[in-house]
Structure 1
């Protein structure tokens, strides 16, 4: 999500991603829908909602993902809002697949990655499998993974002797490694890990 007014789009339209929020109105997608590609309507609806909601303070935490205070209290999205966005994306995908059955907005692998990130962020109030079932009325079997993550967090806390700083550091390092693996993007992992450890050591001085 781009929030800076200094960012310029190409051709007074979006950069390319269907959820691009650089411009107030996505003229390209609107024109495509008006010219008959009505199956794009659910995408435009989700995109417009993201534009309207991105700067609402109630959708934001006061801290950034690295734990520092955010400008104007506009930090990372709350767990409730993150779950809400996922629900709407899956609902849009389900609607589109009625006419475009092979089209995916979000893959099963990415759903697993999202659940992993949520557990790393200690989000247990929302389950990807439950949101998926609500959208599709089908079960997404993630029971084994859910139990594994909960046990992992419990064991990690015990291993860190209830040290919040150590726990958060290891959580961050595990997140970096796991996310790269799940998304098949291991390039830059070593640098990311080194940067996170360096940041931790600076704060610990």
Structure 2
């Protein structure tokens, strides 16, 4: 007798193990090892394992290590790349944990002649957290405006995956994702599954597939395994458990924006403002790591800028890309706040460098120097301020010297721009004629950069773009919103617009 589709779905659902049921009630480690080996031997696609340093990715990597080590040496012929995304703003203790683990993996793999290669992947300088926050003025991330996730975590991993796709044609990405993590995670994993296969489709890349060996494991399964099975690359899993004593969860390897924020955990970024409080960092300080306190204070400063009442104090009223002003369209009066003001960004840079200095004073020389912002990031921030913000004062080298009492190898007059003395004269002239000084600076910068060119056609478009920006005062803009002067509001699709 036939079965209705509803009955079939019900039967399928009942045959699936409950997400709260231990995987070891219906499978054993030998079964799981054989599944990993069969999947590895099924084709010649290399593997890319996403490793975050947390419990799930450690379990996944450890399972695979033992499974591959148990194969005949002649069958261990397919490379397995282990990648970890370093956002450059990771909690320092976790950076040390991940770095030493990757070093161990490479050392043990070489000694045992196993096909594992561990790599860190980093965001491009232009995508780094501080270049966007301080350089471009992106506001501190929140739940609805997580501009950092894609730039710092997803893109670096994607770039590595695509490099391997280009080299090998197709790859299999291994993740420590578990359906029991959340209903959303289960839904996403089920959506991309391939019937009759251990693999799933990658959410973005047609030539990449996903394998999740612990997808049916509970959190208790993970800890039971880690605390009973020795780590094969020389680490002690009890040390990992200790990192979790005061944290709720790890920050998983992120491959899409459906992954929740990890700001509450030890495995998140120390700058994370997506959560209200960084309890993990607070717990570390309370446990005796008082050298982390300046990081927590800087993070709390960023968090304070999200107070709706204080946004006008920190934020511009016009977008940085096109210079338009947008009125709120959610039924409330007012203007959508945009990027951080340049003066506040200067304050943030100074505060960050002071934080770096204080952290290292507290840590002591034996711990090694902790660099919170890299030299190349400082130089990129300087370039952005000089080219896009008309920073004739060349503030970055000045701020750096004031705090560090030292200098980097700054390129002198690299843009052939004007100086602080000329800025002061221009300020006086503009004040006399009621002209925004930044408007004149931008126009003069455009002329300077096109000076001597044989073809100057593009200069007119750039001048026109500057004139189309909104150069009115905040009082004039507010009066316009209240209906004293009609104007067509421009719609500017840029990241700053997403934060209301």
User: Is this a same-fold pair by TM over 0.5?
Assistant: yes
Alignment length (residue pairs):
168
2:348 is the counterpart of 1:85: yes
TM-score by length of 2: 0.30
How far 1:95 sits from its partner (Å)?
1.4
Q: What is the RMSD computed on CA atoms of the aligned residues?
A: 3.0
Please state which structure has a larger fraction of its residues in helix.
1
Structure 1 equivalent of residue 312 of structure 2 = 57
Structure 1 equivalent of residue 410 of structure 2 = 142
Structure 2 equivalent of residue 119 of structure 1 = 386
Q: Could you say if the C-alpha distance between residues 57 and 47 of structure 1 is closer, same or farther in structure 2, counting changes exceeding 3 Å?
A: same
Structure 2 equivalent of residue 106 of structure 1 = 373
How far 1:62 sits from its partner (Å)?
0.8
Q: Could you say if the C-alpha distance between residues 15 and 22 of structure 1 is closer, same or farther in structure 2, counting changes exceeding 3 Å?
A: farther
2:281 is the counterpart of 1:29: yes
In 2, the alpha carbon distance for the partners of 1:63 and 1:20 equals 25
How far 1:6 sits from its partner (Å)?
8.7
Structure 1 equivalent of residue 449 of structure 2 = 156
The answer for unaligned runs of 5 or more in structure 1 is 169-198, 200-205
How far 1:4 sits from its partner (Å)?
4.2
In 1, the alpha carbon distance for the partners of 2:301 and 2:263 equals 23
Contact 1:157 1:167 in 2 (8 A): no
Query: Structure 1: which 4+ aligned runs deviate by more than 4 Å?
Result: 4-8, 11-15, 151-154
Deviates more, 1:94-103 or 1:107-116: 94-103
How far 1:140 sits from its partner (Å)?
3.4
How far 1:103 sits from its partner (Å)?
1.1
2:311 is the counterpart of 1:47: no
Q: Could you say if the C-alpha distance between residues 126 and 25 of structure 1 is closer, same or farther in structure 2, counting changes exceeding 3 Å?
A: farther
In 1, the alpha carbon distance for the partners of 2:345 and 2:263 equals 30
In 2, the alpha carbon distance for the partners of 1:149 and 1:83 equals 22
Contact 2:298 2:352 in 1 (8 A): yes
The answer for unaligned runs of 5 or more in structure 2 is 1-139, 147-259, 329-334, 419-444, 468-492, 494-500
Query: SS at the partner of 1:73?
Result: coil
How far 1:157 sits from its partner (Å)?
5.2
Contact 1:97 1:103 in 2 (8 A): yes
Query: SS at the partner of 2:417?
Result: helix
* Partner deviation per Cα, 1:147-192 (whole Å, 9 max, x = no partner): 5341775532554158524679xxxxxxxxxxxxxxxxxxxxxxxx
In 2, the alpha carbon distance for the partners of 1:91 and 1:23 equals 24
TM-score by length of 1: 0.69
How far 1:101 sits from its partner (Å)?
4.0
